[in-house]
């Protein structure tokens, strides 16, 4: 999952079509056939088959029963937990990531610190899934290094106080390891886009730093901030490997539920499984639409 607020989709200098030729333009799509066939076979058909399956009963007749089935407490709860954890990590990662990115951009920090932390963010945002979950088990698991350090040295017994890594908050702390760096990577270009002249103009007019932020900085950055957090939300929403290997499938997330459904029809209704999966696509589609709408708004201020 990615994006970059700063890539203005490189659409600025759209190439002009070749000077008119004899070949009629209606054949231009022929060259796109391989791509289109591939996309139809491996992206559209699989999605469509889930979509259709979600509206069928086991015999193949049309039904809305599966959609109704999505609104039963167990499945609603799975969606709710998934949304909650995606929201929590998006907000936390978003806020801390913003401050970290700002700290790196604002200056007062040696260049090598900045560039090596940025590189690290690139690595960490790609370091996810099974290895990440295991790293956190070695850290905050029952016999993890940090757990033991806190207990032996600082006398804080995390697990006695009800914390476990294999729970909502444990999962959140782990997700942050890729959410936070991703936020730094996508919010840095908009922060860099805040022009020095705006600040100077505000100061010349007698604005205090907080007035500058309240009336200039935050309004300009707000679409990027919200957009980035929404992207983080989507990023966590589809996570499967990290959650599975951390909790062993004990947490009721939609992705985990779909995984169990593929393995062994835990819902006792394959078609409900298809509806469940397609429901994720619907949520993601909403999320990404909001993201692109916000991105367009942020580009308004940030383009040169």
Partner 1 sequence: MKKNVFWNWLWIIISLVYFFIPLYATFNFSLKARKGELSLLAYQQMMEDPRILRSLIFSTQIGLLTILLGLLLMVPTVYWVRLKAPRLRPVIEFISLLPFVIPAIVLVFGLIRTYSGGLFPLTNTYTGTNFLLIAGYVVIGLPYLYRSVDAGMSAIDVITLTEAAQSLGASWTTIMFRVIIPNLRSAMLGAAFLTLAIVLGEFTVATFLVGLKAFGPVIWQVGQNRAYEASALVIISFIITWVLMGLINYVGRRGAADGSIAAGPR
Min dist CB 120 to partner 1, Å, is 7
For the bound state, the minimum distance from the C-beta of residue 170 to partner 1, rounded and expressed in Å, comes to: 13
Residue 181 near residue 97 (C-beta atoms within 8 A): yes
Q: Helical H runs in the chain?
A: 33-39, 45-54, 65-70, 73-106, 111-126, 130-140, 145-152, 168-193, 196-204, 209-212, 218-237, 241-247, 254-264, 270-302
3-class state of residue 62 by DSSP: strand
User: Shortest distance, CB of residue 33 to partner 1, whole angstroms?
Assistant: 9
Is 145 near partner 1 (CB under 8 A)? Answer: yes
Identify whether the C-beta of residue 198 lies closer than 8 Å to the C-beta of residue 216: yes
**What tokens appear for 75 in the block?**
């499945």
Q: What residues numbered 232-261 form the site for partner 1, per CB under 8 A?
A: 234-242, 244-245, 255, 258-259, 261
Kindly determine how many residues on this chain lie close enough to bind partner 1 according to the rule CB under 8 A: 99
Among 57, 68, 74, 138, binds partner 1 (CB under 8 A): 138
**C-alpha distances out from residue 175 to 181, 215, 248, 297, Å:** 11, 33, 16, 28
CA 95 to chain centre: 14
Query: Whole-number minimum distance, CB 164 to partner 1, in Å?
Result: 17
User: Can you tell me which of 49, 72, 77, 208 binds partner 1, judged by CB under 8 A?
Assistant: 49
Q: Which of residues 190-229 bind partner 1 (CB under 8 A)?
A: none
According to the binding rule CB under 8 A, does residue 46 interact with partner 1?
A: yes
Residue 85 Cβ, how far from partner 1 at the closest point, in Å?
A: 12
Candidate list 76, 201, 218, 262; residue touching partner 1; CB under 8 A: 262
Distance between CA atoms of residues 107 and 202, nearest Å: 19
Site residues for partner 1, window 66-125 (CB under 8 A)?
96, 99-100, 102-104, 106, 108-109, 113, 117, 119-120, 122-125
Rank residues 74 and 99 by Cβ distance to partner 1 and give the closer one: 99
With a CB cutoff of 8 Å and minimum separation 6, the contacts of 271 are: 53, 54, 56, 57, 58, 63, 66
Stretch that binds partner 1, among 60-68, 173-181, 200-208, 216-224 (CB under 8 A): 173-181
Backbone angles phi, psi at 56, to 5 degrees: -120, 155
Question: Can you tell me which of 80, 131, 200, 215 binds partner 1, judged by CB under 8 A?
Answer: 131
How far apart CA 142 and CA 144 sit, in angstroms, is: 6
Binding mask 282-301 for partner 1 (x = CB under 8 A): --xx--x-------------
């Amino acid at each position: 999952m990615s994006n970059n607020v700063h890539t203005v989709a490189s659409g600025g200098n759209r190439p002009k079509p070749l000077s008119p030729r004899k070949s009629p333009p209606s054949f231009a799509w022929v060259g796109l056939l391989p791509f289109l066939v591939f996309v139809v076979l491996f992206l559209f058909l699989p999605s469509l088959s889930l979509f259709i399956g979600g509206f069928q009963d086991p015999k193949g007749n049309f039904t809305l029963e599966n959609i109704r089935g999505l609104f039963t407490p167990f499945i609603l709860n799975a969606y709710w937990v998934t949304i909650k954890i995606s929201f929590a990590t998006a907000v936390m990662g978003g806020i801390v990531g913003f401050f970290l990115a700002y700290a790196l951009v604002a200056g007062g920090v040696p260049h090598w610190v900045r560039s090596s932390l940025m590189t690290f963010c690139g690595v960490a945002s790609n370091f996810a899934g099974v290895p990440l979950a295991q790293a956190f088990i070695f850290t905050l698991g029952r016999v993890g290094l940090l757990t033991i350090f806190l207990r032996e040295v600082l006398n804080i017994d995390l697990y006695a106080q009800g914390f476990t890594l294999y729970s909502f908050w444990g999962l959140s702390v782990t997700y942050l390891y890729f959410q936070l760096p991703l936020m730094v990577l996508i919010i840095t270009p908009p922060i860099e886009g805040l022009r020095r002249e705006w600040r100077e103009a505000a100061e010349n007019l007698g604005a205090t730093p907080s007035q500058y932020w309240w009336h200039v900085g935050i309004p300009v950055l707000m679409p990027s901030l919200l957009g980035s957090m929404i992207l983080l939300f989507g990023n966590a929403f589809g996570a499967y490997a990290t959650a599975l290997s951390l909790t062993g499938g004990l947490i009721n997330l939609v992705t985990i539920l779909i995984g169990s459904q593929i393995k062994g029809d835990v819902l006792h209704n394959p078609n409900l499984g298809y509806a469940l999966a397609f429901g994720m696509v619907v949520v993601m589609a909403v999320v990404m639409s909001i993201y692109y709408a916000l991105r367009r708004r942020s580009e308004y201020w940030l383009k040169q």
